[in-house]
Structure 1
Amino acid sequence: MKILYISQHFPPEIGAAQARAYDMSMNLVEEGCDVTVVTSFPNNVSSKKIFQSSKHLGLNVIRTFVVQDTKKSKLRRMLNYFSFMTTSIIAGLFAKKPDVVFATTPQLFVGLSGYVLSKLKRAKFVIEVRDLWVDFAEVLNQINNKKLLTLARKLEWFLFKQADHIVVVTHGYKQYLIEKGIPENKIDVITNGVNPTETGVLVPEEGVRIRAEHGLENQFIILYAGNMGIAQGLKTVLEAANVLKDVSSITFVLIGEGAEKERLQQYQKDKDLQNVLILDSRAKQELNGFYAAADLCLVILKNHPLFEITIPSKLFDCLAMNKPILLGIGGESKEIVKSLNAGLFFEPENADSLAKVVLEATSNPKIMELLEKDVRSKMLLKYNRQELSKNLAHLLESTQDNVKGWSQ
């Protein structure tokens, strides 16, 4: 089976979307599929090239020009989206004819690129919905123009209607789309997860080194490593740190990039938070030392019903490192952590609740001892990307044989 896999985000960029696209596409190759990925040049690299083709372990990769997203300008972000849509369509025209075009969102215009290419290539069209992009854009006030929101919803609905199949990453998303009127038999759930061959092994000596390097000896460390965007609500973490600023044995370590990073740094400066360490993004291998040093791994989102049906991929990364979770999300994420007895919980966007749970964990070591340490193997029974890729391969294979079953 020949697959044209469209994802704006792909390594060497660091992030959950990039990791999922790489793992799934590589595992599809291992399943015997002929996969061509159309992606962009890394956003942090200014490229003078329009296109570049390469091959990596049997995977064909075509990179295309995009206007760089500065993370500070809505205009630049939209130009980034539109430029990838345009150049990915052009690049896709020169790729070999696929059986299936698989477009992974967000952002939504990747889906439009996939739809156009599926028509031009006379291939089946499958769209992957990794978050409810339009709904989140409204909730997070990223799009506050009613006309733009209406147009975005029309585009979203058009893509859902035209797709031969829809892949979502949570059961909550599936139910949400069904309630919106999309037929249940058109939607399949293929969750996030981890590639067991890619996750690192914790080396205690590396944790000791990280603690010494950053002056964190004898500290109880709460680690957050990931996107510092609006959705994460990381100001709550700094507010909790402010509540705990007189407790000298606790440090919050935040690693990553994102639209909110500068505001978080300014808040830290304004409040003189000595118990917060904000670091630049690190490669996966470098993060292993921080995971080894951490006592709790923080997974957090803002407080909204939409986030209760969202499962951040970061949750699986932390579980794969056998680290207890400090979770500020309800719904499906909470049920996963509860089922594994793998973490502690606080109310989303409630700094006092977060501070209280951290204090309880540090003052009562038995709380930490009761948490299941060997969660990795249990988690991998359901959230192994190698197995999830097999499910995706079977789904795409079956899509070839099915005629479009939804029209209205």
Structure 2
Amino acid sequence: MRKRILAYSIYYYPEIASVAQIYTELFEALSDDFDITVICAVPCYTGEVSPKYREKRFYDEEHGGVRIIRVPVRSFSKTDKKSRILNILDFWRGARKVTRQLGGDFDLVFTYSQPPVLGGMLGVYGAKKVQAPLIYGIQDFNPEQIMAVGYVGGTLLHKIMMILDKRSCRKSSCVIVPGRDLAETLKQRFVGKDVPHCEVINNWADDKTIIPLSKDHPQVLAFGKQYGLDGKFVIMYSGNIGLYYDLESLVRVMGEFKEEEDVVFVFVGNGVMKALLEVYVEKNRLRNVLFIPYQSKEELVYSLNAADVHLVTNAKGIKGVSCPSKAYGVMATDVPMLAVLEEGSEVWCLVEESGCGICAHAGNYDEFRSALHCVIDERQKFVEAHRGGRSYLDTYLTRELTVGKYKMLFNDIVQ
């Protein structure tokens, strides 16, 4: 008999968030072997909720062989903490209510670390209600992440969050993390005590869809023409323009290259820091810094391939806390990477092991400046020397390999 999995994922198909794409692809790939029910929020990642998702108590749908139960949440602004928190609490309450209505008869519960801390607690609640083992996927450690950037709360709140999330880890049959440095963070949480069982399973890109394309591919050319990238050397940041990437500091260094008329710095995406960056760029007349909207999943391969070099970053203090999964999409295109990270972080190690780019230490802006000079002044040599990402990904990091690890783990736990 096929085993049944109950999963929680605040963002899910058709959301553009990277975690939504990862777990959508994972559960759809596993649907040949398991019956999977996903409880998620109605589409709201951009902050807006479509009118069609404002009418019912919940929405029961199906996509890719997966049952999807969506709970209603309110719209929010990414720059308004209160509205964001209320949106999250809507999901928390709605997901618990749906869990009670579903009842038991599940063999496994899966949750991940969004919303921060509450995602783990929701999994613990669901596992208790349906009397099934729990797997907790930690994409971002909190409160460590918010502490690193001072986003919200004080010492007492952080202590409470740590207690609650450590409890979720202890209640789990397995904690999955996407990087070796995150596994070390889990160990450090439980120094001198039993460390919960942990598996390192990397994230991935859709390596069947995100592939290397030449610069003269018609749709890559069309993307470049649409946004005025023709004849430019394109250094691109693609993804969430959020709090944890130190982009407000890096753009100041980019501003020192504003006289490089044949070089353009491109930010593709959206996020809470975008408006701040736009103000800085406009105030300082940085004409070679551009902002481009999120690209749909279908168009992403063309935008990624329009870059000559991709910028992948995390702020200082994020090592062992979060892994920038955008790196896998960059590697899938075989476009070289300039990684601004902490030494020993998962993506730093991947860049060194694959030879797909160069690394600069997060928070060291002189080093970032020197790296940009290297990339720009020796652009042809740099690009030709760092074409190792795709071959490394095909050997070690394909979606098929990663899904196989999840399948094996799920089967081991539900036996």
Q: Specify if TM > 0.5.
A: yes
The alignment's TM-score, normalised by the length of structure 2, stands at 0.91
What's 1:126 paired with? Answer: 135
Is the contact between residue 195 and residue 386 of structure 1 (CA under 8 Å) also seen in structure 2? no
Amino acid corresponding to residue 87 of structure 2 in structure 1: N
Is the contact between residue 241 and residue 275 of structure 1 (CA under 8 Å) also seen in structure 2? no
Give the match's secondary structure for 1:139. Answer: helix
Is the contact between residue 360 and residue 371 of structure 2 (CA under 8 Å) also seen in structure 1? yes
Match of 1:345 among 339, 359, 376: 359
Once the two structures are TM-superposed, the CA of residue 128 in structure 1 deviates from its matched residue by: 0.9
Once the two structures are TM-superposed, the CA of residue 365 in structure 1 deviates from its matched residue by: 4.0
Once the two structures are TM-superposed, the CA of residue 94 in structure 1 deviates from its matched residue by: 3.6
Once the two structures are TM-superposed, the CA of residue 41 in structure 1 deviates from its matched residue by: 0.5
The answer as to 2:197 corresponding to 1:190 is: no
Match of 1:64 among 71, 77, 82: 71
Output the CA distance in 2 between the equivalents of 1:372 and 1:19: 27
What's 2:382 paired with? Answer: 368
Output the CA distance in 1 between the equivalents of 2:362 and 2:239: 17
Match of 1:45 among 34, 44, 49: 49
Output the CA distance in 2 between the equivalents of 1:125 and 1:329: 32
Is the contact between residue 308 and residue 333 of structure 1 (CA under 8 Å) also seen in structure 2? no
What's 1:271 paired with? Answer: 284
Amino acid corresponding to residue 91 of structure 1 in structure 2: V
What's 1:248 paired with? Answer: 261
Output the CA distance in 1 between the equivalents of 2:170 and 2:383: 50
Give the match's secondary structure for 1:127. Answer: strand
1:34-113 alignment, distance < 5 Å:
34-43=35-44, 44-46=48-50, 47-48=53-54, 49-95=56-102, 97-107=105-115, 108-113=117-122
Deviations 1:229-261 (A, max 9, x none): 110111133212211111211110001111111
1:156-175 alignment, distance < 5 Å:
156-175=165-184
Output the CA distance in 2 between the equivalents of 1:36 and 1:141: 36
Output the CA distance in 2 between the equivalents of 1:390 and 1:57: 18
Amino acid corresponding to residue 166 of structure 1 in structure 2: V
Unaligned runs of 5+ in 1: 402-408
Is the contact between residue 224 and residue 306 of structure 2 (CA under 8 Å) also seen in structure 1? yes
Once the two structures are TM-superposed, the CA of residue 78 in structure 1 deviates from its matched residue by: 1.7
The alignment's TM-score, normalised by the length of structure 1, stands at 0.92
Once the two structures are TM-superposed, the CA of residue 59 in structure 1 deviates from its matched residue by: 1.0
Unaligned runs of 5+ in 2: none
The answer as to 2:293 corresponding to 1:285 is: no
- Please, what is the CA RMSD of the aligned residues? 1.9
TM-aligned CA distance change 1:185 to 1:155, over 3 Å: closer
Match of 2:146 among 115, 137, 159: 137
Output the CA distance in 1 between the equivalents of 2:218 and 2:364: 35
* Percentage of identical aligned residues: 22
Output the CA distance in 2 between the equivalents of 1:67 and 1:146: 29
Amino acid corresponding to residue 314 of structure 1 in structure 2: K
Output the CA distance in 1 between the equivalents of 2:212 and 2:393: 16
The answer as to 2:410 corresponding to 1:396 is: yes
Once the two structures are TM-superposed, the CA of residue 378 in structure 1 deviates from its matched residue by: 2.1
Is the contact between residue 336 and residue 383 of structure 2 (CA under 8 Å) also seen in structure 1? no
What's 2:333 paired with? Answer: 321
